[in-house]
Structure 1
Amino acid sequence: MLYAPRVSGPEVPGIRLDWVGHALTFAALTFTALMARVPPALVLVLVTVDAAASEAIQHWFLPERTGDVTDLVADLVGVAVGWFGWRWVSRGMVSRDGERARPDPGR
């Protein structure tokens, strides 16, 4: 997806859907890696490097693509969203049945 030729998609006034796609892709990548119990520091370093590398590769090596700093920012927003989502879930804020869990007084 990051290296495929650019495909035009629907346009929504005032919203760059490609930024939403960038953020969702990196949020999913970060969240699933953390849920798989990959060490958080390693996940954050690797997905951040991947985000920067993908934009650099698109800019310098793929003539049909362009690297963009704003896309990198959207990628990093996705990393943060994935991390916060994992923290929320891993702290027991949501029980398995979807109900809000009661806070543990010992935490």
Structure 2
Amino acid sequence: MTRRVAWSAALVLALAIQLLVLYLPQTPDAPGVTVPGLDKAVHLMVFGAVTLAGLLAGLPRVVVVGYGVAHAVVSELVQHLLLADRSGDVLDVLADLVGVAAAVWVVTARERRDQVSESP
């Protein structure tokens, strides 16, 4: 299996998880368990995973990043306006955008490292 195919499969999985996390009618809670900042960490990870997988699958950067930015905003609007037991949160949007930016940074650093190792 080529790396591009593997990353494409990872992208499909990451997108499925992202959609579940963002659009379940209620957030799953473990009774009596609260971890400060866990919600923001989950947002960062799901947006970072989708962005990382999309970029490494070879999709155009503008498409992957554009999707991440747009979905960060739209998902919170959907939660706020259409899901009765969910609410939109500007800080979730910020966490989403940090996830996108972190993934772009990782891929850019990888590309630069690869260019340096390939140069004579």
Fold-level similarity (TM above 0.5): yes
Corresponding residue number in structure 1 for 2:29: 8
Equivalent residue letter for 2:74: A
* 1:6-29 C-alpha deviation (Å, 9 max, x unpaired): 1224323xx310100000000000
- 4+ residue stretches of structure 1 with deviation over 4 A? 104-107
- Two-structure CA RMSD over aligned residues (Å): 2.1
- Higher helix fraction (1 or 2): 2
Structure 1 gaps, min length 5: 94-101
Residue of 39, 42, 50 corresponding to 2:60: 39
Equivalent residue letter for 1:2: L
Structure 2 gaps, min length 5: 1-20
Report the TM-score, using the length of structure 1 for normalisation: 0.80
Corresponding residue number in structure 2 for 1:80: 101
Q: CA deviation at 1:104?
A: 4.2
Match status 1:60 vs 2:81: yes
Secondary structure of the corresponding residue to residue 7 of structure 1:
coil
Corresponding residue number in structure 2 for 1:99: none
Report the TM-score, using the length of structure 2 for normalisation: 0.72
